[in-house]
Structure 1
Amino acid sequence: MDLITTKDKDFVAFLAELDELLEVIEEVVDNCKPALGGERFLTDTEVSKLLKVSRRTLQDYRTQGKIAFIHLGGKVLYRESDIEEMLQENYCKAWQ
């Protein structure tokens, strides 16, 4: 029986695969949120990343009535379906 050390190439490869698996699991956990009534709710940080706009721009959209939101206490939440609907309503088709 051979002794396995931290320098063993098979062991190093195994650890690398475990690291990759851990990254996938962390991504799934980060993106998986419990649904409330079948609806996902997003924070302003998540929506700003999704739409590639600043949080200040989101605040302007709220003030102008361009984006639906929920204000609960000091927290602002957005329904994922409202964001998708807003994007569809503002979609401009190519004309060529």
Structure 2
Amino acid sequence: MERLNAEGLNTLLTRTAPQIAAFFDSIDRMLDRIEKLSKKGRPPLNGERYLTDRELSERLKISRRALQDYRSEGKIPYYQIGTKVLYKESDIEKMLKDNYRKVFK
């Protein structure tokens, strides 16, 4: 941390000053982290968590189109309310567990 001398006390710090810009950048990063945590930590509905297309595709590292194909082929369980599609987290975990293939030599 820089020490302010008598001359530094008379200097006007603006948002473009390096110290202030760094401060606001750290606040922005902190707010982003808080937002991500709040999304992950949302309360379950009747003890169950539900994922959107976007959330599930990000977790599985597949496209949303691939999820649509899996739904159409009956490979993945889902709920549809109007145009909104939701996936029960426990159903997805079970599906992944059931489809696990061990390596054989």
Change (3 A) 1:23 1:59: closer
Aligned partners of 2:21 and 2:68: how far apart in 1? 49
Q: CA RMSD in A?
A: 2.3
The equivalent position to 2:73 in structure 1, one of 59, 64, 73, is 64
Match of 2:50 in 1: 41
Match of 1:88 in 2: 97
Runs of 5+ consecutive residues of structure 1 not aligned to the other structure: none
Change (3 A) 1:57 1:16: closer
Aligned residues: 95
Match of 2:3 in 1: none
Helix, strand or coil: the match of 2:45?
Answer: coil
TM-score normalized by structure 2?
Answer: 0.70
Runs of 5+ consecutive residues of structure 2 not aligned to the other structure: 1-8
Deviates more, 1:16-25 or 1:82-91: 16-25
The equivalent position to 1:73 in structure 2, one of 71, 82, 91, is 82
